[in-house]
Amino acid sequence: MLLAIGNYTATTAAGVGLAAMHESIVARKSGLRPNDLEGCDLDTWIGRIEMLQAISLPPHLQYLLSRDNLLAWLGLQQDGFLESLAQLTGQVGADRVGVIMGTSTSSIGRTEEAYTKLLPSGVFSEEYRQPELLSLHAPGAFVSAATGLLGPSMTISTACSSSAKVFASASRWISHGLVDAVLVGGVDSLCMSILYGFNSLELLSSNICRPFDRHRNGINIGEGCGFAILARADLLPDAEFALLGYGESSDAYHMSHPHPEGEGAVAAIDQALERAQVSADEIEYVNLHGTASQANDRIEAHVLAQRFSRRTLASSTKGWTGHALGAAGIIEAIITLQALRNGLIPGTLNCEEQDPEAAFKVLIENVYMPINKVMTNSFGFGGNNATLIFGRMDG
């Protein structure tokens, strides 16, 4: 079944909404900044969204207040997304549209805050007694409540592949007739647990991240969200793009280190190519996971070299956004869709001297050229891998 991509939107440190993000990519202006998150003294760079400080939830959603949900609410209001969703639900009914969200941290930042403001009795104050937030399903529950969708709702948490895997799950739901369409998305916000956790793993860089650069020395954490509508093609006759294929694998080689030969990543790519019924040579652009860690970039380059020729352009866009963890998959899927729409293939920001040991050379500068078939990779802790392939509805 051919599944159409309807309206979509993304919000990151590089821009709130598609137009702002496009401007940042054109200008090669990073959204990363030296760490200035309140209460955090780590020497690193982050992708923080300043506009969150001015956002509030509507009264009927206040019981779900958290930084994560403020970010999701901000993102939902961009690019006419809610209006497009309302039009779709008018066609099929709110009970025939599902919600699948991806996240890594959910609303854990709210819990961190609650523990800093415990009452003398050692219990949470009233404003922090929010059982709906003490769950990894908090983003899915929030988006369902915020949009009024009544279809099945689920949240996926498979580390950095979380919001890429939402497309695969949505495809299965629609194909089996469970729903007619799915709001897919992902959201993760900055919090202490993630920053100090990655610091304990010695993965944070004290400099701006440099994917695939010879001198790369770690990642920068960012926050962000993205949303898209996936539906039966007959429901979106004006859709430009389709989900052509997806691949998922779980190699379980190590808790945090990818398989040294990239076996799980290769399996996900091969599955996606097979489902899309396209060859590797037909893929014109690959948006890489490319976190700027030593191991990840080296292994992903090795993976690419096993399947793709130099005809295929590839780049990492984390130099603009930072690594948004559970939201990275959908953010980078949307950047990839925008490359299809605008013919602007982003380069690899901050990569000044490519790693000579990398088996596949990435695109450094932005390139303008029309393309028709694209791929995006998301590889998470524990070997949770996902690959998506998108193309034009007209082929």
* Residues catalogued as catalytic: 160, 289, 323
Q: How far apart are CA 183 and CA 178, in angstroms?
A: 14
Pair 367, 46: CB distance under 8 Å? no
Pair 320, 30: CB distance under 8 Å? yes
Helix or strand holding residue 395 (H, E): none
User: How do 285-287 and 241-250 pair as beta strands?
Assistant: unpaired
Q: How far apart are CA 179 and CA 153, in angstroms?
A: 11
DSSP 158-169: BTBTHHHHHHHH
Helix or strand holding residue 83 (H, E): helix 81-92
Distance, C-alpha 268 to centroid of its chain: 17
Please give the angle made by the CA atoms of 240, 169 and 224, to the nearest 5 degrees: 70
Q: How far apart are CA 125 and CA 373, in angstroms?
A: 52
Distance, C-alpha 191 to centroid of its chain: 17
Which residue carries 């993976």 as its tokens? Answer: 303
Q: What one-letter code names the amino acid at 200?
A: S
> What SS3 state is found at 84?
helix
Q: Between the CA of residue 228 and those of 23, 81, 98, 104, what are the distances in Å?
A: 20, 8, 12, 19
Closest CA to 112 of 39, 8, 175, 21: 39
Structure tokens at 236: 């979106």
Q: What sign does the CA torsion over 206, 208, 213, 214 have?
A: negative
Q: How far apart are CA 32 and CA 19, in angstroms?
A: 18
